């Protein structure tokens, strides 16, 4: 058996993991050893009588900053000899996480994740420990834990054997550069709204065409950025 996908999480809330990731197929995969999770309690690396992990920002300003020495010790403790795993720090100012990046991470040996709290973390630990800052969206969370769980879930569901056919991928949002088409199931009549006829026509080619059209329409409306990238791709391939 290949080694499990290995996640190490540095956090002030180790007892909150795996949290929701213990549920469903992702949780079963954890139980069956397809992936492995360990947490490192940042407080255990704190300094002084109160195990302080943060201090006021140099230069003044609001909030508190995670100390470089405390976080560096935690990162070093979580790092294996010759650890090949990328070290990511969840942060609103990071590069946006994409499905393409999720695929790359899932294909690798695992990840080391740093969950920030407070205003930020000392830049020197980002620089010396090679932390790659990653954001899960253009909004600000109170800390990196929920973002870390989102990243883990996105990766783990792609691991071979975790989701079976459900993660087949090609038809999902982002996989083809488009948002997903709308879904319907029983009842045929829901509060006077019926299922589009084409979906019950048995004409597989027509269904595929309808789904493609709907996916394109949604993408144009909701994500002009994705749609522009699609058009560019199409133009570069020379088909219109």
Q: Which residues are near ligand ADE by CB under 6 A?
A: 90-92, 116, 135-137, 139-141, 144, 147
CB of 203 to ligand ADE, least distance (A): 43
- Can you state the angle between helices 99-107 and 145-156, rounded to 10 degrees? 70
Burial of 140: CB neighbours in 10 Å, binned 0-12, 13-18, 19+ = exposed
By C-beta, is 8 or 215 nearer to ligand ADE?
Answer: 8
By C-beta, is 74 or 178 nearer to ligand ADE?
Answer: 74
Could you tell me the two tokens for 189?
């009549």
By C-beta, is 137 or 182 nearer to ligand ADE?
Answer: 137
By C-beta, is 110 or 144 nearer to ligand ADE?
Answer: 144
By C-beta, is 18 or 116 nearer to ligand ADE?
Answer: 116
Distance (Å) of CA 134 to CA 114, 115, 228: 10, 11, 24
CB of 82 to ligand ADE, least distance (A): 28
Contact 35, 7 (CB under 8 A): yes
- Total H helices, total E strands in the chain: 7, 10
- Cα 39 to the center of its chain, rounded Å: 17
CB of 134 to ligand ADE, least distance (A): 6
CB of 67 to ligand ADE, least distance (A): 18
């Amino acid at each position: 058996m290949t080694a499990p996908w290995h996640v190490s999480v540095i956090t002030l809330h180790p007892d909150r993991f795996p949290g929701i990731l213990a549920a469903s197929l992702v949780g079963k995969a954890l139980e069956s050893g397809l992936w492995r999770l360990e947490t490192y309690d940042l407080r255990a690396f704190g300094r002084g009588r109160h195990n302080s992990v943060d201090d006021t920002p140099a230069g003044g300003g609001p909030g508190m900053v995670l100390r470089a020495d405390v976080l560096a010790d935690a990162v070093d403790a979580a790092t294996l000899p010759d650890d090949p795993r990328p070290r990511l720090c969840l942060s609103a100012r990071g590069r946006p996480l994409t499905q393409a990046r999720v695929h790359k991470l899932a294909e690798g040996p695992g990840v080391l994740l740093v969950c920030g709290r407070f205003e930020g973390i000392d830049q020197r630990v980002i620089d010396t420990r090679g932390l790659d800052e990653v954001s899960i969206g253009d909004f600000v969370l109170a800390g990196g834990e929920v973002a870390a769980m989102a990243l883990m879930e996105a990766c783990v569901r792609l691991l071979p054997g975790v989701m079976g056919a459900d993660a087949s991928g090609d038809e999902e949002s982002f996989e083809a550069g488009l948002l997903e088409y709308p879904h319907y199931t029983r009842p045929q009549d829901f509060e006077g709204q019926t299922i589009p006829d084409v979906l019950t026509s048995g004409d597989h080619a027509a269904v595929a065409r309808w789904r493609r059209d709907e996916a394109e329409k949604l993408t144009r409306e909701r994500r002009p950025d994705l749609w522009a990238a699609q058009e560019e791709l199409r133009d570069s391939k020379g088909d219109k």
